[in-house]
Amino acid sequence: MGYVKWLGHAAFEIFLDGRTILIDPWITGNPKAACKIEEIKRADLILVTHDHGDHLGDAVKIARKTGAAFAGIYELANYMNNQGVRKAYGMNIGGSIKIKDIEVILVPAFHSAERGREVGYVIRGKEATIYHAGDTGLFYDIKLYADLYPVDIALVPIGGLYTMDPLQAAEFITLIKPKVAIPMHYGTFPPIDKDPKDFQKAVEDKGIGTKVVILKPGEKYEF
């Protein structure tokens, strides 16, 4: 059985087809972190949506410790390689790669970054297809990717200010139409202290049949 576990902010641990995938593993200094860095013993693959500190986080340290592969935008992969991460695979928008039988497709996001650019990920396994939107504003092009790669579980930011707010995120969900939507990137700091129930209601009002699952840091959704 697979699961999606929220580690707080935009950080997730995903167990898919027997593989452990970490996305945006900001643990150290994260006031909502669901674990300590010492508790992370295993990772097969690490994905980082962009190089801001609250997303790149502990990726280098975890990759070195666990031997996990890294896949991401080309310039960030080069940075990881220069930091001693031996299996760092550079990609670009629309590109895909298969690592340990997990297919990773790099998709756009609209935000900012210092190395390369900001991205999202569609992660495809036998058990599920999971989309992590990263930090992004509302944009339409994700519909093209969702049509090609139907999404089971979408992880979307709702905090506003730096990303979509609950209303915009609900509209975003209508473009993807996943079976399940899990809100993230809210409540970590006062400027992004949004109520996930506002997102849940806005999605339900759209009448598209997507189930909104609200997790607390450390909780998991099993599939």
Give the pLDDT confidence of 58-71 residue by residue, as tens digits: 999 999 999 999 99
Average pLDDT, the chain: 98
Question: Quick check: is 81 in a domain?
Answer: yes
Phi and psi at 174, nearest 5°, equal -65, -25
Q: What is the DSSP string of 126-182?
A: SS-EEEE--S----STHHHHHHHS--SEEEEE---SSS--HHHHHHHHHHH--SEEE
Q: Report yes or no: 186 and 197 within 8 Å, Cβ to Cβ.
A: no
Q: Which of the four pLDDT bands, split at 50, 70 and 90, describes residue 82?
A: very high
Q: In this predicted model, what pLDDT tens digit does every residue of 123-182 receive, in sequence order?
A: 999 999 999 999 999 999 999 999 999 999 999 999 999 999 999 999 999 999 999 999
Question: Quick check: is 203 in a domain?
Answer: yes
Q: Is the pLDDT of residue 100 over 90?
A: no
Q: Which residues contact 86 (CB under 8 A, 6 or more apart)?
A: 67
Question: Quick check: is 220 in a domain?
Answer: no
Q: How much of the chain, in percent, has pLDDT values that exceed 70? A: 100
CB burial string 141-161: b at 16+ within 10 A, e below: ebeebbeebebbbbbbbbbbe
Question: Quick check: is 89 in a domain?
Answer: yes
Question: Quick check: is 30 in a domain?
Answer: yes
Question: Quick check: is 223 in a domain?
Answer: no
The domain tally of the chain equals: 1
Question: Quick check: is 221 in a domain?
Answer: no
3-state secondary structure of 123: strand
Q: Which of the four pLDDT bands, split at 50, 70 and 90, describes residue 35?
A: very high
CATH number at residue 106: 3.60.15.10
- Residues spanned by the domain of 55: 3-215
Question: Quick check: is 222 in a domain?
Answer: no
Which pLDDT belongs to residue 9?
A: 98
d(CA 10, CA 81): 23
pTM: predicted TM-score of the whole model, two decimal places? 0.98
